[in-house]
Amino acid sequence: MKSIPTAVDIAVLEHLEKTYPDFKLCSYENLGRLNYQQKITNPYRFWNERSREVIKSIHEINVTLHRFPDKHIMKIIASSTFESLFFSQVFPYLEKKIQDTKKPNPEEMVMMIKLCDKFLKIGLDGMKQTMPDEFQQLLQVKYDEFMSLMQAINQHSKKLSPNEFKKTEFTFDLHTKKKVTKKNKPH
C-alpha cells in the first residue's frame, strides 16, 4: 500500500524537481529518500536497487565513452562534474576507509590497496610521460625504486589474503618491455 504524501513530501519533491530538472538516474521520490533518508520501508531492497541504477549508469558511460573523439573525452574528464565525483566522493571515501580501519579485514585491505594502486599508477605514469626531458633520468630512477616497493607490497598482499590476491594483483611492471616487431627486432 502506497503512503499518502504529506505537504513536506510534496515540497521536497518540488524542490528537487526545480534543483535537478533533467535528473534521470532515479525517480524524484527515490532522490528524496537518498537526500533526506526518509520513508525507506525496506532499506536492503532500496539500496540494492539504487546501487543497480548507479552501476547501470556507469555501464552506459563505459559503453559510449570509448567511442568519443579524444577532444570530447578530455572535455568530460576535465569538467568540474567529473572532478567533483572523484574529489568529493571517491577519494574522501577511500581516505576515510583507510583512516578508520584499526584492524581491517584482509580481503578489504587488499581491495583498498588495489584501488590505491590504480590511481597511483595513473599518476606516476602521467608524471613520467609529461615531465620535460631534463627530468626524465632522475624521474626514471625514482620510478624504478617505487616500482620495487610496489612489488614488495604486492607480495605482502599475497600473504594477507591469498584468495583475494588473484582478483587484486598489482599491475605494476618492474621493468617495462618495449614491443618487438619484425622491423625493429634485434639481429
Is residue 147 within 8 Å of 89, Cβ to Cβ? Answer: no
Which residue did the predictor score with more confidence, 28 or 69?
69
Assigned domain for 92 exists: no
Instruction: Report the range of poorest mean pLDDT among 4-8, 37-41, 140-144, 169-173.
Output: 169-173
Question: CB within 8 A of 94, min separation 6: which ones?
Answer: 112, 115, 116
Boundaries of domain holding 154: 101-187
Q: What is the mean pLDDT of residues 16-32?
A: 82
Which residue did the predictor score with more confidence, 132 or 6?
132
Assigned domain for 63 exists: yes
pLDDT grade, residue 52 (50/70/90)?
very high
Whether 121 and 60 share a structural domain:
no
User: What is the overall mean pLDDT for the chain?
Assistant: 76
pLDDT reading at 22 higher than 90 = no
pLDDT grade, residue 70 (50/70/90)?
very high
Please give the tally of structural domains in the chain: 2
- Which of residues 67, 88, 109 is at a domain's end? 67
Assigned domain for 75 exists: no
Q: What is the mean pLDDT of residues 34-42?
A: 75
Q: What is the mean pLDDT of residues 93-97?
A: 77
